[in-house]
Chain A
């Protein structure tokens, strides 16, 4: 079924009908928040609801009220991202793309005939058990990193035009995560629901924080290992910074091998992150051991041949100088670990997105000559392009190349980005960053020494 047909089918129920409201969920258990797709803000899960019904981690009364609107031909206001797309362009909105997934569309009749009050087991689940993390990446924050919480509790928010990573603001928004040591009723509810949820899952993805620092991650792996007969077609994905202590990698490896070698899951992926190389990567992803990161990738791909790794790169102002070398490294791994046994064709993929927030770390603060480096990276990826997308070939895929090029297009796009203001904010942030973390920006980024000095003086 093509996307137009999917849209017509959805519109047959109502102009706001979207299967994702039933079939997908991201549960931030560490914060007690949930949402079905990333466009509407996550909402708080009422504790009294999960007490009597653990599926309320997904089937909250709030979400049910939105499902009711959808079934009655209304458009929930929280989904306005899609309504904007549909009303102002000829493009299909994510409502269509998300509903068109085969594991989602297959539930169409069941959902259409259901009452909005009915609980529904989702097919695609992302879960964050904890914000415990051993890194504090420059563009991250206390909601997703316990290391950031420690820093902000010690030094306070970064001072600037808008105080960056202010815990008081996060508390006000009710987004402060439970500490790892605290009792978390949402995690308890998850485990009550899990045996029933697991059977119906198409994809399960564990995010964080750093999931390998959470005992719940290993509990999930053990459960799947013991109960795989209930769902042998599961796609399992785990996020990890792959720079955790060795003992955790040593603990993970045999579990992955068991799931993979014994076909206990259909697809196995690790999502990790890096967006520069060497010292520059370590500066931005504070706490990262760059060499260890790649040796872990190399080892995991060698020992678990069916595993795929996705490197999610948040391309920011500090990525430009070494991104082309990162492309070389990814290419080297693609070549080395190319095989015909994994579910995904690529051993490793570079999934590049541009950073939007915080604005002062965006590529848009940079000078024109810096932006050309982004273009050169896209050119390199193009020359490393995969001539045909099949298991006989390796290289960068159409999508990987396009996403790098998109960063350049974004960087040079003419919009109302307040460059001067954000450059000053950047310099202000770096000054505090170096002082708090005992880092040396000028030594790590000699290419931006003059830029930093110029905007520090203003």
Chain B
């Protein structure tokens, strides 16, 4: 389990440390050019009265947020226009969410929580926001150094997987850590590290 303390977000950007290794960094699958499935199981320790981000895909903000005791999902498409919807999910302090995101290029972007489809966005007219260096922040809406839209959240991450058309390319059970990096048990070096 990875406990993300409020104010100490973690990052999925495996080629951020060395730009040529891993050779096929998993974050590139979020560039809008590929199909991908993202799965994570997370416990949100503080929900009531919080404004927080559970995770976000950047640089074009696509995120699962907490706002006014509700869950919101925001998607930013290639026209740079963010759209959001309130999700029909009951939340409370300590809620456990099994989140699945399914992106089919130029077709749909769906979000399932605890097995139920809660968000379905059509990408046929405007695709998912393209990016050359996409990445995911867990527990914040931005990099702390940027100083805005931080929305820190206190989380416990139990697992995380990212799949492309070939299968799982990043797999974390958060049992093994090396130097503030969660070990990718898929052996693809797609680690998650502390910012």
Chain A residues close to B by CB (< 8 Å): 331, 378-379, 382-387, 395, 398, 401-402, 405
Given A383-B181, A384-B178, A395-B179, do A378 and B21 touch, yes or no (CB 8 Å)?
yes
Q: B191 an interface residue at 8 Å Cβ cutoff?
A: yes
Given contacts A384-B178, A395-B179, contact A405 B17 (CB under 8 A): no
| CB within 8 Å for A398 and B179 given contacts A382-B189, A387-B193, A387-B194 | no
| Closest residue on chain A to residue B18 by CB atoms | A401
Partner of A383, one of B20, B178, B195: B178
Tell me, yes or no, whether B119 is within 8 Å of chain A by CB: no
B124 on interface, CB distance cutoff 8 Å: no
Q: When chains A and B are docked, how far (Å) is the Cα of A398 from the Cα of B19?
A: 7
User: B178 near A401 (CB under 8 angstroms)?
Assistant: no
Specify which of A382, A387, A401, A402 is in contact with B180 (CB 8 Å cutoff). A387
Evaluate contact between A382 and B21: CB separation under 8 angstroms: yes
- Cβ of A383 and Cβ of B18 under 8 Å apart? no
Asked if residues B17 and A398 are in contact (CB atoms below 8 Å), the reply is: yes
22 CB-based A-B contacts, threshold 8 Å: A331-B179, A382-B17, A382-B189, A383-B181, A383-B191, A384-B178, A385-B17, A385-B18, A385-B181, A387-B16, A387-B17, A387-B180, A387-B193, A387-B194, A395-B179, A398-B17, A401-B17, A401-B21, A402-B18, A402-B20, A405-B18, A405-B21
Determine whether the beta carbon of B194 is less than 8 Å from that of A382. no
Closest to B13 in A: A387
Question: Which residues of the other chain, A, contact B17 by a CB distance below 8 angstroms?
Answer: 382, 385-387, 398, 401
Q: Does B183 contact A (CB under 8 A)?
A: yes
Q: Mark B16-54, 1 if CB is under 8 A from A, else 0.
A: 111111100000000000000000000000000000000
By CB atoms of chain B within 10 A, which of A378, A398, A402 has the most?
A: A398
Q: Measured between C-beta atoms, what is the minimum distance from B186 to chain A in Å?
A: 13
Give the residue name and chain of the A residue nearest to B11 (CB). Answer: A387
Residue of A nearest to B195 (CB): A387
| Chain A residue contacts of B195, Cβ below 8 A | 387
CA distance A331 to B181 in the complex (A): 15
| Chain B interface residues toward A at CB < 8 A | 16-22, 178-181, 183, 189, 191, 193-195
Q: How far is the CA of A405 from the CA of B21 in the complex (A)?
A: 8
Q: Which residue of A lies closest to B20 (CB)?
A: A402
Min Cβ gap B65→A in Å is 25
Give the residues in chain A near B22, CB-CB below 8 Å.
382
Chain A, residue nearest B178 (CB) = A383
Q: How far is the CA of A401 from the CA of B17 in the complex (A)?
A: 9
Q: How far is the CB of A407 from chain B (nearest CB, A)?
A: 12
Looking at the assembled complex, report how far the CB atom of B19 sits from the nearest CB atom of chain A, in whole angstroms: 6
Report B24 CB to chain A, min CB distance, Å.
Answer: 13
- Interface centre among B16, B17, B22, by most chain A C-beta atoms within 10 angstroms, is B17
- By Cβ-Cβ distance, the 10 closest A-B pairs, closest first, are A385-B17, A383-B178, A401-B18, A405-B21, A398-B18, A384-B179, A383-B181, A402-B20, A382-B18, A382-B21
Closest chain A residue to B14, Cβ basis = A382
**Smallest Cβ distance from B181 to chain A, in angstroms?**
5
Nearest residue (CB) in B for A378 is B21
Bound-state CA distance A420–B144 (Å) is 56
Nearest opposing residue in chain B for A398, CB measure: B18
Give every chain B residue within 8 A of A395 (Cβ-Cβ): 179
Sample of 9 more A-B contacts, CB < 8 Å, known A383-B183, A401-B17 = A382-B22, A383-B179, A383-B181, A385-B18, A387-B16, A387-B194, A387-B195, A405-B20, A405-B21
A382 to B189: give the CA distance in the assembly, Å. 9
Q: Across the two chains, which residue of chain B brings its CB closest to A400?
A: B18
**C-alpha spacing A387/B194, complex, angstroms:** 8
Residues of chain A within 8 A (CB-CB) of B189 are: 379, 382
Q: Which chain A positions have C-beta within 8 A of B178?
A: 383-384
B45 to chain A, nearest CB (A): 24
A104 shortest CB reach to chain B, Å: 26
Roughly how many angstroms separate A329 CA and B186 CA in the complex, as a whole number?
27
A386 to B180 Cα, complex, angstroms:
10
CA–CA, A37 and B98, complex, Å: 60
Enumerate chain B residues within 8 angstroms of A385, measured Cβ to Cβ: 17-18, 179, 181
Q: Shortest CB–CB separation between residue A329 and chain B, in angstroms?
A: 15
Which residue from chain A places its CB closest to the CB of B182 in the assembled complex? A383
CB distance from B70 to the nearest CB of A (A): 33
A386 partner residues in chain B, CB cutoff 8 A = 17
A residues less than 8 Å from B183 (CB atoms): 383
CA distance A405 to B180 in the complex (A): 21
Please, how many angstroms separate the alpha-carbon atoms of A378 and B178 in the complex? 14
What is the chain B residue whose CB lies nearest that of A408?
Answer: B21
Question: Chain A residue with minimal CB distance to B180?
Answer: A387
Bound Cα distance A401, B15 (Å): 12
A378: B residues at CB distance < 8 A: 21
Q: In the complex, what residues of A have CB within 8 A of residue B19's CB? A: 398
Chain B residues with CB below 8 A from A402, complex form: 18, 20-21
Question: Once bound together, how far apart are the Cα atoms of A331 and B189, in whole Å?
Answer: 19
